[in-house]
Structure 1
Amino acid sequence: MSDAAKTGGRQPGVGALLPVGFRDRLPPAAEAHSILTRTIVDAFAAHGYERVAPPLAEHEASLARWLGKPLGAALFRSPDPMTGDALALRPDITGQVARIAATRLSQAPRPLRLAYAGPVLRARSDQLDPARERTQAGAELIGNDSVAALAELIGAAVEGLTAAGVRNISIDLTTPELVAQLASVRWPVADSDALLAALDGKDWGALSSPEAMPYRALLEAAGPAEDALPKLAALAPDLAKRLSNLVETLPPVRVTIDPTERHGFEYQSWVGFSLFGEAEDAPLRGEIGRGGTYLVRHPDGGTEPAAGVSLYVDALVDAGLGASVRQRVFLPMGTPADAGARLRAEGWATVPALSVQDRPDGCSHIWDGTRPVARG
């Protein structure tokens, strides 16, 4: 049953309506959400990532500072009733982890491995996903943006997704800085906005001017890694070599490359990536994770290399993953307390009758006085 809860034929009143982009999670989806979040965080913990828990709201000016990424229309804003300061609800957790690394943990040994999980809120939904409240679970490796750092993060993410039930995981790599580098060094253009619009739209025809035509090579370099890397090597040999080394060290998953994809990668540096997968041989809707390399900005103006990945728990829940297998046993009136305690110790969920009229609805078993008996 989906989270658009069954109402028994009754139409919810106006007071029951939620704002656009928000929803309730009901049983069993709420339990699945908790299980999947724990599964993913445990996978990062097994790789040495320690949990941090930043607050849901911060000073508005602070949220964008540590990554140098404008957040603008993404922010829920509100004045602080206590101080009058401008507050905002976080649309992403990576920037908060960067703040912690640059301030509270600035003297901690590097590389610094931190994990997190929690809700994020956005003022507006996007075209592909109407949800404005989402859950992120991820990890950041502060102090290193090397191939080895990325391979470690992606490997941990793949382990977590696999443990959560995702199959046929694939990774799409992108190169957020490449177009700007080519425009400044190799193929200068007069109208950079028009160039970016053409590349965003994969519009071959719009790249017909003499100065824009060389950028068609970037569109041709998109595809499976084994096909894309030789083409990319002719345009940016050093970058192609790093990407080739990364592909060689990744888990055995399908890898594609799109050199022109940049939406959502505004603060990433030399590489970004998106994760996709399937549940029970059916593709999961959209991305199930995203990450890449970036720079943490310190209060003294310095920067520090970093890499990270965020996984989207809600997409996994919506695909039916994480369903609890704990069985529920109904305890009739008069069942001794020690019988219920023993069953719970064995992994059962016990549902005691509170009156003689209570029925075992929703339970898989009934206690017969000596053992749980499956309902017919």
Structure 2
Amino acid sequence: MRNWILPEYISDVLPLESRQLETMRRAMLDLYERYGYEQVEPPLVEYVESLLTQDDSALDLKTFKLVDELTGRQMGLRADITPQVARIDAHILNRQGVTRLSYAGSVVTTRPDGLLANRQPRQIGAEIYGCADIGADVEAIELMLASLELAGVKDVRLEIGHIGLFNAMADAAQWQSEIRQLAFNALQQKDLAVLQQLTQSLPDSLRDGFLALPLCYGGAEVLDRARTKLPALPAVSEALDVLNKLSAALITRGIQMRFDLAELPGSYYHTGLVFNAYATGFVSAVARGGRYDRVGEKFGRSRPATGFSLDLRSLTAIPFPAHRAAILAPQGDDAALLSAISALRASGQTVIVDLGVDVTEVHINRSLQLISGQWQVVPLQ
């Protein structure tokens, strides 16, 4: 009954899940800080033009709109935090060197990303601005995998693609928005029948290239196969070179990966590498990331950018340790009692003052009792 009187795909966060969310959030943000990431907290609501990147109709559809009663301007509830972080990097911090930023907060979407998804995800992520080198992508992937390890996610599978391959061939085909979007969707769904229909009038090299993308899935050998199957376009060669460099860097660090050259992101602001993490027991990716080098262009400052994000709420299905049992203390104004309670709490113990506690409803296994003139912790009778 957690959705009682709430909108579809919206739910309350109850005590155990809330504790789990906060524990993961703290651990991940501490991890990011150790890598040099500074935390930012953008507002939940902004003028809608600041919440959307250029020509991102997918994000536009997911964004709730409302009217600002003070100005009459259209505002939006954020559906993704990355455009907000790009705005902060571009206009508020305005640094010249590499900037590492992290964030954690709720977003709200008009529609769920899947049948089991929530329309109010708890998004957390880390982003690097100002570095075009493959080292930034390697760091983002390392941090993403470390975040999932902290959350207790097992059997993680890393899959890597590059949206530049699709974009290069779509540009060569001179596809405009409508047919480009149809082909994009067909590739996401690996729908060869639709792809065949859309590409039937293209030159052989382009048609064969589009039809080869969904079949380019597997280990590093996929990249060699792609060089023979995809058209010899400069942007295609450049994208495959980037994937080769990334593969070598990840292998050096002992990170296993698979390549899926038809792996396309859900947001249009990605411009290059894309990487997703999948795990047993989850129906969709548990974390997503990639390159979005032009994400700040709308804000007047286009810088290289890469990063990742994940929804903490999607991870709360993982078994989590139960509440640490508390100590039940009597109510009173005795100075020694108050001192004992303060000392226990300062040592990290949870102490609940008895204001009418039902011990069957809370996690209590000890009590604070006055024994021989001293306040002592004893097993709960």
TM-score by length of 1: 0.84
Partner Cα distance (2:44, 2:213) in 1 = 39
The residue that corresponds to 1:339 in the other structure is 340
Contact 2:52 2:83 in 1 (8 A): yes
**Deviation of the 1:300 alpha carbon:** 7.6
Matched residue, 1:148: 135
Q: Tell me which residue corresponds to 1:260.
A: 262
Q: 2:286 aligns with which of 274, 288, 292?
A: 288
Structure 1 contact 176–265 (Cα < 8 Å) conserved: no
**Matched residue, 1:9:** none
Q: Are 1:157 and 2:151 matched, yes or no?
A: no
Partner of residue 127 from structure 1, selected from 102, 106, 114: 114
Tell whether 2:205 aligns with 1:217. Answer: no
User: What amino acid does structure 2 have at the position aligned with 1:38?
Assistant: R
Counting only pairs closer than 5 Å after superposition, residues 331-370 of structure 1 correspond to structure 2 as 331-333=329-331, 336-354=337-355, 358-361=357-360, 362=362, 363-369=364-370, 370=375
- Is the deviation greater in 284-293 or in 305-314? 284-293
Q: Deviations over 1:58-102 (max 9, x none)?
A: 00122114x552332211111112121111000000000001111
Q: What per-residue deviation string (whole Å, max 9, x for no partner) do you get for residues 15-70 of structure 1?
A: x51111211111111111111111111111110000111000000122114x5523
The residue number in structure 2 matching 1:167 is 154
Partner of 1:229: 223
Q: Secondary structure of the equivalent of 2:258?
A: strand
Q: Percent identity?
A: 28
Q: 1:79 aligns with which of 44, 56, 67?
A: 67
- Does the 8 Å CA contact 2:187/2:264 hold for their aligned counterparts? no
Q: Which residue of 2 is the match for residue 239 of structure 1?
A: 239
In structure 2, distance between residues paired with 1:260 and 1:174: 7
Once the two structures are superposed, residues 214-233 of structure 1 have per-residue CA deviations (whole angstroms, 9 ceiling, x without a partner) of: 4222122112x334222223
Contact 2:55–2:268 (8 Å) recurs in 1: no
1:121/1:351 CA distance change after superposition, 3 Å: same
Output the CA distance in 1 between the equivalents of 2:180 and 2:72. Answer: 41
Please say if residues 51 and 114 of structure 1, whose CA atoms lie closer than 8 Å, have aligned partners that are also in contact: yes
Distance 2:285 2:266 in 1: 12
Contact 2:90–2:301, Cα closer than 8 Å, also in 1: no
The CA distance in 2 between the partners of 1:264 and 1:198, in whole Å, is 13
The letter for the 2-side match of 1:290 is: R
Instruction: Please give the alpha-carbon distance, in whole angstroms, between the structure 2 residues aligned to 1:375 and 1:61.
Output: 58
What is the Cα-based RMSD across aligned positions, in Å? 2.7
The change in CA–CA distance for 1:249 and 1:128 in structure 2 (over 3 A counts) is farther
Aligned length: 353
**Structure 1 residues 192 and 100, CA gap change in structure 2 (3 angstroms):** closer
Q: CA deviation at 1:333?
A: 4.5
1:197 Cα offset (Å): 4.7
**Equivalent residue, structure 1, for 2:189:** 201
Please give the secondary structure, in 1, of the residue aligned with 2:344: helix
Tell me which of 42, 50, 53 is aligned to 1:62.
50
Residue among 25, 37, 40 paired with 1:37: 25
Contact 2:97 2:130 in 1 (8 A): yes
Q: Classify the secondary structure of the residue corresponding to 1:35.
A: helix
Q: Secondary structure at the residue paired with 2:11?
A: coil
**Aligned partners of 1:169 and 1:254 also within 8 Å:** no
Q: Which moved more, 1:326-335 or 1:288-297?
A: 326-335
Distance 2:275 2:367 in 1: 50
**Equivalence for 2:233:** none
Matches within 5 A, 1:5-44: 5=2, 17-44=5-32
Structure 1, gaps ≥5 residues long:
6-11
Q: After TM superposition, give the deviation of residue 139 of structure 1 in Å.
A: 1.1
Superposed displacement of residue 253, structure 1: 3.9
1:138 aligns to 2:117 (yes or no): no
SS at match of 1:167: coil
CA contact (8 A) 1:284 1:319 kept: no
Q: Who is 2:97 aligned against? A: 110
Aligned to 1:181: 168
Which residue, out of 11, 34, 47, partners 1:46? 34
Deviation at 1:301, TM superposition (A): 4.7
Higher fraction of helix: 2
* Aligned residue identity for 2:225: K
